[in-house]
Amino acid sequence: MRAFVLSSTEIPPALTEIDCPEPSRGEVRLKIAACGLNFADLLMTTGKYQERPPLPFTMGMEVAGTIDALGEGVTGFAVGQRVAAFFGRGGLAEYGCFPASSCLPIPDAMPFEHAAGFMVAYGTSHVALTRRARLQAGETLLVLGAAGGVGLTAVEIGARLGAKVVAVARGAEKLKVAEAAGASVLIDSDSEDLKGQFKALGGVDVVYDAVGEPMASAALRALNPEGRYVTIGFAGGGVPHFPANILLVKNIDVIGLYWGGYATFRPKVLTDSLRDLMGMYAQGLLHPHVSHTLPLERAAEGMDLLRSRTSTGKVVITMG
């Protein structure tokens, strides 16, 4: 079968032929239909992500497809069932074996292209805003990187929770996408005086930051007393260093979220969240935005779209 494999962090991943896997005990094998790309995939290619699978490995953190084989001991799933899975690797291939515990049935009305890019982006924002930030209706949410894979879902979920959402993104086109997702205030990240624009908001209650510096410092100072700053990632390249005196004087919480980490120490947080999100999708309350859908042979191009930040929402790779 074809697979997009990383053999070394010194050279780019490449499409190659490998053996089709057989499911081990507790695993299902998927005929993969689609795989969502994430910024973490870029970090993995250079060995900079917090998880480093042994080389070589097939890339692709989240997938959707149809179960075509069951490993020993698997219950609750059936051959022919449509599921999404998050395993951190193995998704950019025609077939893949994944733990049944990492799989989630998807609604009949959900296309594979939506399902493949759903779990990480929506799961991250839902856990970040409901569990970690405790966002309440009527509060103001400032989203940095609001047109990106996770940022756009934070805008949408924040608006669904009843917050006033301030979207920060680069350029009019990306801001238009964020507005369509529910943002009521739009700020261009290329503006000369971001600090002044944040200050003019009159205070925010929650900052959702998947970007890091150089915007983080200005966003921190926009927080109201008892505000919550949730750090998701550092797509901008700079890791923030927050002055402790500001945290103290304004009673600010700085909160970290590594969504995938819950899979190891409290997996029920993820399963409960994803079940809620799938229900919201089935009710027509969530509308995933996929800006690019590319075939497997163009997976490297999909990675370049993330690298250059020219995509909005999700980039999805299809196997058909």
Task: Quick: pLDDT tens for 105-130.
Answer: 998 899 999 999 999 999 999 999 99
Question: For residues 4 and 94, what is the distance between their CA atoms, to the nearest angstrom?
Answer: 10
Whole-number pLDDT of residue 238:
86
User: What is the per-residue DSSP string for 84-119?
Assistant: EEE-SS--SBSEEEEEGGGEEE--TTS-HHHHHTTH
In a domain, 282, yes or no: no
Tens of pLDDT, residues 250-290: 999 999 999 989 988 999 999 899 999 999 999 999 999 99
Does residue 47 share a domain with residue 25? yes
In a domain, 163, yes or no: yes
Categorize the per-residue pLDDT at 48 as very low, low, confident or very high, splitting at 50, 70 and 90. confident
Does residue 55 share a domain with residue 88? yes
Whole-number pLDDT of residue 131:
97
**Whether pLDDT at 98 is above 80:** yes
Whole-number pLDDT of residue 121:
96
Q: What is the mean pLDDT of residues 86-111?
A: 94
CA 170 from centre of chain: 19
Whole-number pLDDT of residue 117:
94
- The residue from 260, 277, 301 where one domain ends is 260
In a domain, 50, yes or no: yes
In a domain, 72, yes or no: yes
Residue 90 has phi, psi (to 5 degrees) of 90, 0
**Whether pLDDT at 3 is above 80:** yes
In a domain, 271, yes or no: no
Does residue 128 share a domain with residue 101? no
Domain count, the chain: 2
Does residue 140 share a domain with residue 46? no
Does residue 248 share a domain with residue 125? yes
Token pair 């505000």: residue: 227
Does residue 134 share a domain with residue 14? no
- The residue from 217, 243, 260 where one domain ends is 260
Does residue 87 share a domain with residue 113? yes
Q: What is the CATH number of the domain that holds 129?
A: 3.40.50.720
User: What is the per-residue DSSP string for the chain?
Assistant: -EEEEE--TTS--EEEE-PPP---TTEEEEEEEEEE--HHHHHHHTT-SS--PPSSEE--SEEEEEEEEE-TT--S--TT-EEEEE-SS--SBSEEEEEGGGEEE--TTS-HHHHHTTHHHHHHHHIIIIIIS---TT-EEEEETTTSHHHHHHHHHHHHTT-EEEEEESSHHHHHHHHHHT-SEEEETT-TTHHHHHHHTT-EEEEEESS-BTTHHHHHHTEEEEEEEEE---TTSB-----HHHHHHHT-EEEE--GGGHHHH-HHHHHHHHHHHHHHHHTT-----EEEEEEGGGHHHHHHHHHHT---BEEEEE--
Q: Tell me the pTM.
A: 0.92
Tens of pLDDT, residues 189-241: 998 889 899 999 999 999 999 999 989 999 999 999 999 999 999 987 789 99
What crossing angle do the helices spanning 119-126 and 267-282 adopt, rounded to 10°? Answer: 110
Tens of pLDDT, residues 135-179: 999 999 999 999 999 999 999 999 999 999 999 999 999 999 999
What range does the domain containing 243 cover? Answer: 121-260
Does residue 243 share a domain with residue 162? yes
What is the CB-side half-sphere exposure of residue 51 using CA atoms within 13 A? 15
In a domain, 307, yes or no: yes
Does residue 97 share a domain with residue 10? yes
Whole-number pLDDT of residue 301:
97
Whole-number pLDDT of residue 235:
84
Does residue 162 share a domain with residue 54? no
Question: For residues 155 and 145, what is the distance between their CA atoms, to the nearest angstrom?
Answer: 10
Does residue 191 share a domain with residue 294? no
In a domain, 273, yes or no: no
Q: What is the CATH number of the domain that holds 57?
A: 3.90.180.10
In a domain, 283, yes or no: no
Does residue 132 share a domain with residue 107? no
